[in-house]
Amino acid sequence: MSSYDINLDASGIEDINATGANIVVSPTITPDVVNVRCDAGIQAVRLFDTTGRCLEATKYDDISHATVNLSGYPYSVYLIEVTSSQGVRKVQRVFHSPNAF
C-alpha cells in the first residue's frame, strides 16, 4: 500500500514576487473558462490539481490574455500558475463548480 504526503500550505496559493506584473486570474469560481490577464505579458500558464499534479502546461510569447478551459475536468479545486515575461509568478486557487453563478 502506498502512502502520500499532501502539503496544502497557504503560501502555495499566494502571490509569489507579485510586484510589477498585474496578473489577474478570474473568475475564481467557474463552471468552465478562467481568464488570465497580465500587463507585462504572459509567458506560461500551468494548471494543477490539489495533489500538485500538473494537468496542463502552456507556453506563450508575451500575450496579454489567455484562457484555461476546465470543462473537461471534474468539478474540484485547481491551482493556476501564471508566469509573466518578467519572471513574476502568481498562483491562484480556482473552484470549478457547476453552481458558479
* Residue pLDDT, tens place only, 64-76: 999 999 999 999 9
Contacts of 12 (CB under 8 A, 6+ apart): 79, 91
* Single pTM value for the model: 0.79
Percentages of the chain per state (helix, strand, coil), in multiples of 5 = 5, 55, 40
* Residue pLDDT, tens place only, 20-60: 679 999 999 999 999 999 999 999 999 999 999 999 999 99
Give CA torsion, residues 4, 11, 58, 5, to 10 deg. Answer: 0
For residue 15, give the H/E element and its range: strand 15-16
Q: Nearest-CA neighbor of 85 among 27, 34, 22?
A: 22
Q: Which domains does the chain possess?
A: 15-96 (2.60.40.1930)
Per-residue pLDDT band for 9 (boundaries 50, 70, 90) equals: very low
